[in-house]
Amino acid sequence: MNTTNTLYSDQQQIATLASNKVIRNTYVLLSMTLLFSALVAGISMSLNLPHPGLILTLIGYFGLLYLTSKFRNSAAGLASVFALTGFMGYTLGPILSSYLSLPNGSQIVMNAMATTGAMFIGLSAYALKTRKDFSFMGGFLMVGILVGFVAGLGAIFFEMPGLSLAVSAMFVLLMAGLILYETSNIINGGETNYIMATVTLYVSIFNLFTSLLHLLGATSANE
C-alpha cells in the first residue's frame, strides 16, 4: 500500500512539474508574441498600411495557423507562431488607426486594452489558483465560436451593424471562456504543447481586444 501511494505521489509530482513547465514556456512565448505583434501593429500604423481585407486576412490566418499546428513540435513551429502573430499585428494596425482618428479614439483604445489585460490576468489567475477543470466547456466553446464566426461574416456581407455588435458581445464572453478553458487544459495536462497553448491564448486576447474595441467604439458614438 505504501509503495502504491508513493508511486501515485511521484506521478502527481511529475505531472505537476510538466504542467508548470508548459505554463512557464507558454507565458514566456505569449509575452514575446504580444510584444512582437504590438511592434508590427505600430509599424503598420506609422506606415499607414492598408488593411488586407477579409479574404486575405482569413487566408493568412488559417494558412499560418495550419503551419503552426503542423510544425508545433519543431523550431519551425516557433517561426510560424511569430509569422502568425506578426500578421495579425499587421491587420490590427489599420483598425487601430481608424479608432485613433475618432475624437475620443485614444480613450477607446486604452480602455479596450486595459479591460482586455484585466480580464486575461483575472481569468488566468482564477484558473491557476483554483486549478478547476473547465474541460466541460470545450464543446460549447467550439460551437459558439463557429456560430459567432458565421454570424460575423453574415453581418459583414449583409451590412447589419446590430448583428455585428451582438457578435462582438458574444465573442467577449466566448474568449473569456476560452482563456479559462485553455489555462485549465494546461494545468490538468490536456495541452502539453506550449506553442499551441500560446496560439490559443493569443487568439483569445486578440479577439477579446478587437471585440471590446468594437463595443466601446459603438457606445462612444451613441453618446
User: Residue 200 belongs to what domain range?
Assistant: 2-221
Spans of the chain below 50 pLDDT? 7-8, 10
Residues 6+ apart with CB under 8 A from 144: 170, 174, 177
DSSP 138-164: HHHHHHHHHHHHHHHHHHHHTT-HHHH
Q: What is the pLDDT of residue 8?
A: 45
Count of structural domains, the chain: 1
Residues 6+ apart with CB under 8 A from 119: 176, 179, 208
Model confidence pLDDT, tens digit, residues 66-121: 999 999 999 999 999 999 999 999 999 999 999 999 989 999 999 999 999 999 99
Distances, alpha carbon 156 to alpha carbons 3, 150, 184, in Å: 62, 10, 34
Tell me the whole-structure pTM to 2 decimals: 0.92
Q: 195 and 72 in contact (C-beta within 8 Å)?
A: yes
